[in-house]
Structure 1
Amino acid sequence: MYDHLEAFPKEIANLINLRHIYFGTHVKVPTEVLRRLTNLRSLPFVKMDKETGPQIGELGGLNHLKDSLSICNLEHTRDQEEAEKANLVEKKYLHKLTLTWEYSGPSSSANSDEVILEVLRPHSNLEFLKIYGFMGVKFPSWLLLSNKLKEIELHGCNKCEGVLVLGHLLNLVHVKMNRMQNMRCLGYEFYGYDHASDDIEVLFPALKTLHIEEARKLIEWNEVSTERVMVFPCLEEVTLTGCYQLRSAPSHFPSLKKLVIKGMNSGGIPIASILSNSLTTLTSLEISNVRGLACLLERLLENNQNLSYMEIEYCWELTCIGPPQSQGYEYCCASLQELRIGGCPKLTCLPTGLPIPLSLEKLEIRNCSSLECIPIIPEHGGLPFLR
């Protein structure tokens, strides 16, 4: 690969038995290369070009492609017929697919994007799907049938008010949604819950991580409250970043280990729901830039005896961590190894209900101007493991 190469020599198209080809992000791929090199096994990415470069239909004959493929600048796709020529459904050796729209300004092509994405249906063997900059309102129907999908990432799909149905995808392990700026609710559509069914359903049966970032209009994350449904049985990590308007969240996470919440203006209501008394599996907790959070739940530390990392930053109304008065040392989380607290100007005391545990290895407290007391259990010999 040559860093300064701008375009492939057209003569490369004569190497009809070529299997693998590698090039940098600025290289232009001539149409002839895609048309003739039908034996290619690897092709890192293809950039569509409305004027001089390849159209997506040129991918139609590359059915031996393996592993991963990125298709960029899909905004230059001429029409539905051209998209159908790509024949992604026949590329059974592809396991990773990235589809990218790169609008430089406001787009009014919602219907066009929806049609294009609908016909770009990949083979059912696909395991990893990333969609960037999609300006449609609805996601494609073929996602309902993508049972081998393990990972989905949505980024900058700003016109989607809802989200795709994911709850019944049996192998889905990771979901990341970033800058879904028009998404307002995660409800029954997200879960795919069937009210009419009398059978016991398991939704998101394999999901381990869920990241929702910069969803600034997200207001509700509803809970499926029925005895016939089990939700998130394997979910270990939840990240909510920049969800400033979120007002509700589920309360049942039987396997949750890591919770990260950064940027929220709801007075800690979603936090209180997630950190309900039923949560006993937490090992890491990070809370930052949450307005209206006055106190963490009293039983948080008592119930989560495997909690090893806790970080609380920029919670300006926080006055209390743990129970307000001493109730013995049962609230001491014996597994806590690292505690970071910063930017909490109203926090006056780490109360005796939260004594600094014997196991603590790292303690950081900064910009807590009202802090008066840091309780330590003297009969335990101070903090012998502090590094």
Structure 2
Amino acid sequence: MAEGFLHPSKGNKQMEDIGVEYFRDLSSRSFFQQSTGNKTLYVMHDLINDLAQFVARDICFSFEFHEDKLNDKVRHFSFVRNQYDTSKRFEMLYQMKRLRTLVALPVHNLPWATESYLSNNVLQKLLPRLVCLRVLCLSGYCIDELPHHIGGLIHLRYLNLSHTSIKSLPDSVGSLLNLQTLILHGCNNLTKLPQSIENLIHLHVIDLTDTDSLTEMPMQIGNLKKLQILSKFIVQRGSRSVITELKGLSHLQKDLSILGLENAVDTRDASAYVLKDKQGLKGLDLQWSHESIDHGNGDDGIHVFNMLQPHQNLERVRVAFYPGTKFPSWLGGSSSTKIVDINLSNCRNVTSLPELGRLPSLKKCSIEGMNGVKRLDIEFFGYGLNSLKPFKVLEVLQFKNMLNWEDWDYPDKTDKEDGEFPSLRELMIDNCPKLHRKLPAYLPALVKLAIRRCPHVAYSVMSLPSLLDLSIEHCNKMTPRSMVDLTSLTTLKIKSLSDLTSLADGFEQFPGALQHLILSQCTGLTSLWRKGKEELHRLVSLERLCIESCPKLVSFPETCLWSTLRRLWLRDLPLLKDLPCWIMSHNELTGCFLEDLEIEDCPSLTCFPKGKLPPTLKRLKIQDCVRLSLLPRD
């Protein structure tokens, strides 16, 4: 587009779509090859690259800057695939009056080059000479300002300043009337955009992703009718940038974040929908300020939220710090049928969740910091308004920091064969201190379950036939005693269960598939299993055993049938006096086949057991074991 190689079609196709078609055609003819290191990138064959450079000559050039950080004078300046000395390189670049593409390659092969320096002096002298530039890329260089002369590059169509130290753009940027793409991705020092940007009526892209310091937007950004990518829009106090500016940007695509919604004017006008016609918008991030939560009233934000009803093509939505007590009806309604990912965060005044079970395409749902919610009931599941099964395709469900959530009720209509969430693969519940009701009884597709900081949650019988990964932390009333069908479990992590004295306490049915067992901060644990119990011998697939911060653990069993064990980590076990004898190799037929042994902060240990360290050992780490002798006892 920037070089003018694309021509508008007679139909309604966007120039970008035409470019994609051309690129695919070139790729199919082997002009481009997919990178072996990164499948999202393409490279040219060396012969094609040489041919392109020969044809382009003084029209297109790529180079690397190598510059002393402490000196504005360039020390070394090298062109890619060129061997000219420094003086000739500058001279050549200054003489390229027809140069149309200038791409400065960072010195380091990183996403952005934190040590690629380019002095303002170079830009001040260079840019006024390159009046034919269409493309200018300075991505990754530590430049903090652009010279005023940038406004003289009236043919410029593509400007990339991503991951630079730029703080602001000069007003002269408003003279770049042919500019189509402005990339400011990762410019963390950028605080504002010049008002003159409203003149750039041919802009298709303004990429403001990861510009955390940006606090101001131009007043008349709604003039940029051709905008397709506007990654961020900030509503400022005093209505200098009103939300209705978005209404005329009918071509917006991909993702849009709207910040400062507490400053939006409440029109209460149903015709004021600003996003409803934007068919290409796929992701929407709506953010109010943290302070608005504490200073709002019950109706704050609901009418503005209604104005932001998107087109039904929306796939991802995130809402943060919304100050109202209820969500608008479109969130979870029939107009949101394509939403696959929803994140509701820190909307602390909301008392009930929307009918998310009615979203037929929903695959991921994250609920966090909703302090006003006390129960999840039939409304959450969305029963009663249609016959569709709720959460039919939901795969990931996460609850975090729900400080007042007490009950989780399941509707009577639940299909006993499929369970409440027939497709759920991952369930995480973290820091819900008042939750005391049972968890879902049957989750046939669940692969990963993590319950953390929920001290009152207790199990009823749970059937988890597909579970691979189970993590229980700070949940003293939870033991897997009532779990059944754990035939697939491969990883078990138990942390901060103070009442656990032995692994036989609720772990009677260890699955043979278990490969990783981690025990941490179990202050009551005195032994791995009680004398006469052999449940752990059933762990015929165990590969890794990690025990840490268990202050009452004194010893290990004398026998072990874990021939599969490869990694043993023992950390912060102050009373452990003896290492298990089975870690040593006694002969070629018996003993252990450890590859990784780590012993840390075990002050009561004095020596290794009799025998030799196994010949399979590849890593041995001993730290803060002041009495431990590296020599095995006789």
Which residue of structure 1 lines up, in the alignment, with residue 217 of structure 2? 29
3-state DSSP of counterpart to 1:347: coil
3-state DSSP of counterpart to 1:297: helix
Which sits farther off after the overlay, 88-97 or 105-114?
A: 105-114
> 2-side partners of 1:375 and 1:259: how far apart?
30
Change (3 A) 1:203 1:385: farther
Superimposed CA distance per residue, residues 123-151 of structure 1 (whole angstroms, 9 cap, x where no aligned partner) = 00000000000111111111212110000
Match of 1:171 among 327, 339, 361: 361
Which residue of structure 1 lines up, in the alignment, with residue 54 of structure 2? none
Which sits farther off after the overlay, 366-375 or 147-156?
A: 366-375
Match of 2:391 among 185, 204, 212: 204
Q: Which structure's CA Rg is the greater one?
A: 2
> 1-side partners of 2:536 and 2:281: how far apart?
52
Match of 2:245 among 55, 58, 61: 58
Which sits farther off after the overlay, 106-115 or 160-169?
A: 106-115
Structure 2 unmatched runs, 5+: 1-160, 169-190, 566-592, 597-634
Change (3 A) 1:126 1:385: farther
Q: Which protein, 1 or 2, shows the higher relative CO under an 8 Å CA cutoff with sep ≥ 6? A: 1
Matched positions, count: 371
Give the percent of matched residue pairs that are identical in Structure 1 and Structure 2.
27
Structure 1 unmatched runs, 5+: none
Match of 1:337 among 515, 530, 534: 515
Match of 1:11 among 196, 202, 218: 196
Which residue of structure 1 lines up, in the alignment, with residue 272 of structure 2? 85
Q: Does 1:110 align with 2:298?
A: yes
Matched ranges for 1:1-387 at <5 A: 1=161, 3-5=166-168, 6-23=191-208, 24-27=211-214, 28-32=216-220, 34-51=221-238, 53-81=240-268, 85=272, 87-104=274-291, 106-143=294-331, 144-145=333-334, 146-194=336-384, 201-226=388-413, 231-248=420-437, 249-266=439-456, 268-269=457-458, 272-273=459-460, 276-293=461-478, 295-297=479-481, 300=484, 303-322=485-504, 331-351=509-529, 352-355=534-537, 357-371=539-553, 374=556, 378=560, 381=563, 383=565, 384=593, 387=596
> 2-side partners of 1:382 and 1:93: how far apart?
53
Q: Are the equivalent residues in 2 in contact too, given 1:356–1:374 (CA < 8 A)? A: no
> 2-side partners of 1:181 and 1:343: how far apart?
29
Change (3 A) 1:193 1:14: same
Superimposed CA distance per residue, residues 304-334 of structure 1 (whole angstroms, 9 cap, x where no aligned partner) = 12211111111112234356697xxxx3422
Q: TM-score, normalised by structure 1?
A: 0.88
Report the alpha carbon displacement of residue 375 of structure 1 after superposing the two structures with TM. Answer: 5.4
- The amino acid that maps onto 2:487 is Q
> 1-side partners of 2:556 and 2:425: how far apart?
31
- The amino acid that maps onto 2:525 is L
> 2-side partners of 1:76 and 1:277: how far apart?
47
- The amino acid that maps onto 2:480 is L
Q: Are the equivalent residues in 1 in contact too, given 2:222–2:246 (CA < 8 A)? A: yes
Q: Are the equivalent residues in 1 in contact too, given 2:255–2:282 (CA < 8 A)? A: yes
Q: Are the equivalent residues in 1 in contact too, given 2:542–2:564 (CA < 8 A)? A: no
Superimposed CA distance per residue, residues 330-381 of structure 1 (whole angstroms, 9 cap, x where no aligned partner) = x342222211101112223333223372322221112223335655874564
Superimposed CA distance per residue, residues 7-66 of structure 1 (whole angstroms, 9 cap, x where no aligned partner) = 32333222211101124333422112x121110010110110122631101111101011
> 2-side partners of 1:26 and 1:191: how far apart?
39
Superimposed CA distance per residue, residues 206-232 of structure 1 (whole angstroms, 9 cap, x where no aligned partner) = 100000000010001112234657521
Superimposed CA distance per residue, residues 150-186 of structure 1 (whole angstroms, 9 cap, x where no aligned partner) = 0000011001121110112111000001111111101
Change (3 A) 1:189 1:15: same
Q: What do you get for the CA RMSD once the two structures are aligned?
A: 2.5
> 2-side partners of 1:324 and 1:88: how far apart?
54
Change (3 A) 1:308 1:377: farther
> 2-side partners of 1:21 and 1:299: how far apart?
52
Change (3 A) 1:220 1:375: farther
3-state DSSP of counterpart to 1:117: helix
> 1-side partners of 2:506 and 2:237: how far apart?
65
Which sits farther off after the overlay, 257-266 or 374-383?
A: 374-383
Q: Are the equivalent residues in 1 in contact too, given 2:204–2:227 (CA < 8 A)? A: yes
> 2-side partners of 1:221 and 1:76: how far apart?
35
